[in-house]
Amino acid sequence: MSSSKMPGWKSLPIGAAIINPPTSLEYKTGTWRTFRPVIDQEKCVRCRLCWAYCPDGAVMELEKEYVTKSGRKYSITYEINYEYCKGCGVCARECPVKAITMVEEGG
Amino acid sequence: MPVSIRDIPREEYLVSGHRLCPGCGAGIIMRHLVKAAGKNTIMVVATGCLEVSTTYYPHTAWKIPWIHVAFENAASAASGIEAAIKALKRKGIIDPKKDIKVIAVGGDGGTFDIGFQALSGMLERGHDVLYLVYDNEAYMNTGIQRSGSTPLGAWTTTTPIGKKWRLGEWRPKYRKEMLFVAMAHNIPYYATVNPAYITDMYNKFKKALSIKGPKLIHAFSPCIPGWRMREDLTIQVGRMAVLTGVWVNLEYENGVVRVTTPVPKRKPVKEYLKLQGRFRHLTDEDIALIQKAVDEYVARINKIVGKEVIGPVES
């Protein structure tokens, strides 16, 4: 942010309190990533562990139906939010069915 | 009412975009803590990793009222907020039936060392506050200096490793034990939680928040840069700490200690140490000494519980 765009002290709230949380969503931590987790929706058993273990809340739990090739129907789908995923790989390591693989970015 | 992993609410109160390291254990703990507490919660956070990385001005990752205080007074500020809520309810400014939870959070430096006096005061005066200490076993935010909870033999920048100092002879025991601090203050609830055991952790948060009076929760928080380990090992290390007996998931309620994750056969402590670079310098003799310290700790826990909940080392 250049200095000309910075707000002056008169326009800031008292104590510089942040009155419109959560503003951290403006900061995309996805740029930190070197490896990208990719979920194989065919293998995924919807155990919710990746969602629970993600330190960044970057695993999204979506109300989206998915039917596997073998005909199994799931009412929810897990997807990675690549805007915020820092690529730590906890989800890939903890996935009990190894449905998540880490793929190198830009490779 | 034990809940399963399916019953954890989807709503996030600590959102993405915070600057905690990739794979940080504190991120996992805090997400579930605020999920358990819900939106009528006031957070008081002492200086530490969590504070500097989640509220990077003008950004904040918290959806709930949040205040930052100094290292030493998170417990005091939380006590004051709780007293103020009580007064406002008495005067009818806030609806007296409204359930407002006050949670204070500190790191191990801000709790075991610097904020210990304020914490003791809060527990002794009996404020209705949940104090959570996320324990990454050193002052990680300021650059890995040793704290009151640094384990035996760990490398830190203030306990360097050389020919003479290998195990940290400055420190004969394993670590300061918060269970006995809680027992000494005779508080209604104390628990240890580990992010590798998500439902156990969530249940304890829920239970603690339903109890009136001062509550203390001690959370095991793996630290990627400070423990010198791979980013994806956070949960693995947490699980291994429980399986080797280095960490015991327990709760202390109404004077009774109960172990929530019994381990019938312990793994040798080497399995836990070898995952982390901060223990890389240890020789087999040093590891034998650490194993002895862990054995003593486990024996102490078994004695308090009254039966062998944490078993012997498997051969």
ipTM here: 0.90
Task: Label residue A8 by pLDDT band (50, 70, 90).
Answer: confident
Nearest beta carbon to residue A22 from set B5, B27, B61: B61
CA angle B196/B154/B113 to nearest 5° reads: 80
**Cβ contact A58–B16 (<8 Å):** yes
Is residue A83 situated within a structural domain? yes
Task: Enter the pTM of the model.
Answer: 0.93
pLDDT of residue A3: 56
**Cβ contact A48–B6 (<8 Å):** yes
With beta carbons under 8 A apart, name residues in chain A contacting B17: 22, 24-29, 84
Is residue A10 situated within a structural domain? no
Q: What is d(CA B198, CA B3) in angstroms, rounded to the nearest whole number?
A: 10
List the CATH number of the domain containing A45: 3.30.70.20
Is residue A79 situated within a structural domain? yes
Over residues B263-315, the pLDDT tens digits come to 999 999 999 999 999 999 888 988 998 999 999 999 999 999 998 999 999 87
Nearest CA in chain A to B67: A17
Tokens 């949940």, located at residue: B130
Is residue A77 situated within a structural domain? yes
- Enter the tokens of residue B289: 């000494």
Is residue A68 situated within a structural domain? yes
Is residue A96 situated within a structural domain? yes
pLDDT of residue B160: 83
Give how many domains chain A has, as a whole number.
1
- What's the one-letter identity of residue A9? W
> How far away is chain A from the Cα of B230, in angstroms, using its nearest Cα?
9
**Cβ contact B236–A93 (<8 Å):** yes
Is residue A13 situated within a structural domain? no
Q: What is the extent of the structural domain holding A72?
A: 26-104
pLDDT of residue B172: 59
pLDDT of residue B65: 93
Nearest to B229 by CA among A107, A49, A89: A89
**Cβ contact B16–A55 (<8 Å):** no
Q: How many CB atoms lie within 10 A of CB B306?
A: 9
Low-confidence ranges of chain B (pLDDT < 70): 1, 167-173
User: Which residues lie below 8 Å from residue B266, measured CB to CB, with a gap of 6+?
Assistant: B243, B244, B245, B298, B310, B311, B312, B313, B314
**Cβ contact B54–A92 (<8 Å):** no
Is residue A1 situated within a structural domain? no
